[in-house]
Amino acid sequence: MKNPAWLVIALGALLGACAQQPLTPDAGDAPQRTAAQPKAKVAAKPARPQLPAQELTEQFMLKLMLAEVAVQRGQPHVAVPAYLELARETRDPRVAQRATEVAWNARFIDSAIEAAGIWLQADPQSQQARQVLAALLVNQAQLSTVLPHLETWLKSDPANVGQSFLQITSLLARHKDKNAVLALMQGLARGYGEVPEARFAVAQAAWNAENVELALSEVREALRLRPDWELAAIFQAQVLQRQSAADAVGYLASYLEKHPRAKDARLTYARLLVSEKKFPEARKQFEVLLAEHPDNPEVTMAVALLAMQLKDYDAAEAQLKRALEINYRDPDTVRIYLGQVNEERQRYDEALEWYGSISSGEQHLSARLRYAGVLAKQGRLADARKHLQAITPRNTQQQVQLTQAEAQLLRESSAYQEAFDLLGQALDKYPDYPELLYDHAMAAEKVNRIDILEKNLRKLISLRPDHAHAHNALGYTFADRNERLDEARELIETALKLAPEDPFIMDSMGWVLYRQGQLPQALDYLKRAHALRPDPEIAAHLGEVLWVSGKRDEARAVWDESLKSHPTNEVLQSTVNRFLRTNRPAAR
């Protein structure tokens, strides 16, 4: 007797599904091989597992068909238990593989782990089954149970053990307990001391665990084993930069002397030179990169962005146009940058042309927002607002972005009350939206509604306790008014713990310390903030504290330098007027 048609269809569905690669948990973490990474060696194809003699009974095929139909209809609460039951009954690796895939796609993690376990038991030689199970266990933070699977993974493919270490590094990258990951990686690498990827994996785990010394020693060992490994060289520079930018620059310079064709290392070197304000040296690296890779769109784009950082807008524009000529993969991003370059040069009509040339895609909304900003810079505020109001948002997030953009245009035009009212209307509609709460609070400060500012920021802190800038803004407001200074300092200290490298929060800490009369400590924070971000308001604060500390020449130098770039900044002008033009000390 022939099998009914539905039996054939159901069997075909299973075999077709299992012929495809199942989704790997956290597939976004899977490493992509770069030029700096070794190619995997081709290992001998493993023998296929001995499949169970699965009798295609009508009962089995009916369960299979029902499970697959549930998948197709988007009914995971039916499909996952049905496939898991089939996997338990049959112990067939094909069924278990499909059960794993279905459970993972539906985010039924416990079921996916059980199904992957059955799959591995049914086919112990399957590297794919072992890797999927390991990924699932890591996803659930079960590091103690994943260790034997990772060890077997490494032993099962000795020809590609280095590549396996890189894959395991990516697999563990998102695990929250960085010290546990480091201990696990050290254990895995113990028998592979002469494998450069093993040393590199430990170095990366140490870096993530804030063990800088171990990271540096391990990456140096990796480079001893493979001196030309560009990826490891760039990582060593990153580690060195934490201790000394000069050491990182020096190391990459010496590496490039030995490996002058190392493109990514040279790009990193150029970026470091820019960050250290060594602009002539950086330009030389641009010239080398362009000479060696004249038709590489990625290099051309990188050089263009570095030129923008240097404010060398002629070079930036030339390279951006060149990137379009040689078909850079994301031309709309290039057009956005060309618009920005022309904005910086106050060529507003050309900027509008570039922004207007983006008619769809991911950059479309950003281009429309910038287009409105240029209209406002041309003194056409009404046209800019109409432009924004004509955009149809696709979702709440875009609606909020449009409101924020319009409010920003109003603030820049000193229409503070209108900005406050506009944001208030949006907040009535979306009362718990963090961005609106923050922006409305900032607008409230401009119209002297400190009660609204405090109410909004306290609500935002309750909704998002990790919102560093909410803590900072409330603390700074108190400090700037020279009131509730102990509370202000506590708020800013919390913000600094949440974002320790933020220059604006450092500035707030310096300001509250100044208000409390602790001038040396205040200067320390303000100088660090200004070095990271020479913002005019930070410059105003730094100059004031220098002046009050008796360092008046330094104060004048800071103010003069900032006024060159920001001659109309209100806070900076007000500070300069109080000190330089009246020559009297600030009221404390």
**Per-residue pLDDT reduced to its tens digit, 344-401:** 999 999 999 999 999 999 999 999 999 999 999 999 999 999 999 999 999 999 999 9
Q: What was the pLDDT predicted at 21? A: 45
Q: Whose structure tokens read 């254990």?
A: 187
The domain that holds 561 is classified in CATH as 1.25.40.10
Q: How many domains does the chain have?
A: 2
Q: 3-class DSSP state for residue 347? A: coil
SS (H, E, C) 285-323: HHHHHHHHCCCCHHHHHHHHHHHHHCCCHHHHHHHHHHH
Domain boundary among 116, 149, 182: 149
Dist. CA 267–CA 256, nearest whole Å: 11
Q: Is residue 587 part of a domain?
A: yes
**Per-residue pLDDT reduced to its tens digit, 276-291:** 888 889 889 988 998 9
Q: What was the pLDDT predicted at 64? A: 81
Cα 397–401–402 angle (5° rounding)? 120
Whether the predicted pLDDT of 250 surpasses 60: yes
Tokens matching residue 152? 């077997």
**Per-residue pLDDT reduced to its tens digit, 453-488:** 999 999 999 999 999 999 999 999 999 999 999 999
Q: What was the pLDDT predicted at 121? A: 72
Cα 265–502–346 angle (5° rounding)? 75
DSSP state of 167: H
Whether the predicted pLDDT of 35 surpasses 50: no
Q: Please give the residue that has the higher pLDDT: either 30 or 486.
A: 486
The most confident of 75-89, 110-124, 308-322, by mean pLDDT: 308-322
Whether the predicted pLDDT of 86 surpasses 70: yes
Whether the predicted pLDDT of 526 surpasses 80: yes
Q: What was the pLDDT predicted at 447? A: 95
Q: Taking the mean position of all CA atoms in its chain, how far away is CA 177?
A: 19
Q: Residue length, the chain? A: 588
**Per-residue pLDDT reduced to its tens digit, 160-211:** 889 888 878 887 877 778 898 898 899 989 989 999 999 999 999 999 999 9
Whether the predicted pLDDT of 272 surpasses 70: yes
Task: Tell which residue, 318, 353, 324, has the closest CA to residue 339.
Answer: 353
pLDDT tier at 587, thresholds 50, 70, 90: very low
Residue type, 139: N
Q: Is residue 113 part of a domain?
A: yes
Please state, as a whole number, how many other Cβ atoms lie within 10 Å of the Cβ of residue 490.
15
Burial (Cβ within 10 Å: 0-12, 13-18, ≥19) of residue 461? middle
- 99 contacts 110 by C-beta, under 8 angstroms: no
Which phi and psi angles does 254 have, rounded to 5°? -70, -35
Whether the predicted pLDDT of 33 surpasses 60: no
List Cβ neighbours of 411 (8 Å cut-off, separation of 6 or more).
419, 443, 446
Q: What was the pLDDT predicted at 6? A: 38
pLDDT tier at 97, thresholds 50, 70, 90: confident
Q: 3-class DSSP state for residue 357? A: coil
- 214 contacts 222 by C-beta, under 8 angstroms: no
Q: Is residue 93 part of a domain?
A: yes
- 462 contacts 474 by C-beta, under 8 angstroms: no
Percent of the chain's residues with pLDDT above 90: 58
Q: Is residue 160 part of a domain?
A: no
Q: Please give the residue that has the higher pLDDT: either 141 or 289.
A: 289
Q: Is residue 484 part of a domain?
A: no
The DSSP code sequence of 250-290 is HHHHHHHHH-TT-HHHHHHHHHHHHHTT-HHHHHHHHHHHH
Residue type, 427: L
pLDDT tier at 588, thresholds 50, 70, 90: very low
DSSP state of 587: P
- 449 contacts 421 by C-beta, under 8 angstroms: no
Q: What was the pLDDT predicted at 138? A: 64
Domain boundary among 132, 149, 166: 149
pLDDT tier at 99, thresholds 50, 70, 90: confident
Whether the predicted pLDDT of 561 surpasses 60: yes
To the nearest whole number, what is the mean pLDDT of the chain? 85
CA distances from 259 to 145, 229, 253, 254 (A): 42, 10, 10, 9
Q: Is residue 340 part of a domain?
A: no
Q: Is residue 337 part of a domain?
A: no
Q: Whose structure tokens read 């270490």?
A: 165
For the chain, give percent helix, strand, coil, nearest 5: 75, 0, 25
Whether the predicted pLDDT of 144 surpasses 90: no
- 71 contacts 206 by C-beta, under 8 angstroms: no
Whether the predicted pLDDT of 552 surpasses 70: yes
Residue range 430-454: mean pLDDT, rounded: 96
pLDDT tier at 127, thresholds 50, 70, 90: confident
Q: What was the pLDDT predicted at 34? A: 35
- 462 contacts 456 by C-beta, under 8 angstroms: no
Q: Is residue 103 part of a domain?
A: yes
CA distances from 571 to 83, 243, 509, 532, 538 (A): 66, 34, 18, 19, 9
Dist. CA 540–CA 533, nearest whole Å: 13
> Which range has the worst mean pLDDT, 102-111, 294-303, 371-380, 551-560?
102-111
Dist. CA 152–CA 362, nearest whole Å: 43
Q: Whose structure tokens read 């059955």?
A: 118
pLDDT tier at 4, thresholds 50, 70, 90: very low
Can you give the residue range of the structural domain that contains 137? 1-21+58-149
Q: What was the pLDDT predicted at 26? A: 47
Q: 3-class DSSP state for residue 35? A: coil
Q: What was the pLDDT predicted at 140? A: 60
Q: What was the pLDDT predicted at 53? A: 55
Please state, as a whole number, how many other Cβ atoms lie within 10 Å of the Cβ of residue 245.
15
Q: Please give the residue that has the higher pLDDT: either 103 or 269.
A: 269
Q: What was the pLDDT predicted at 161? A: 87
Domain boundary among 119, 149, 179: 149
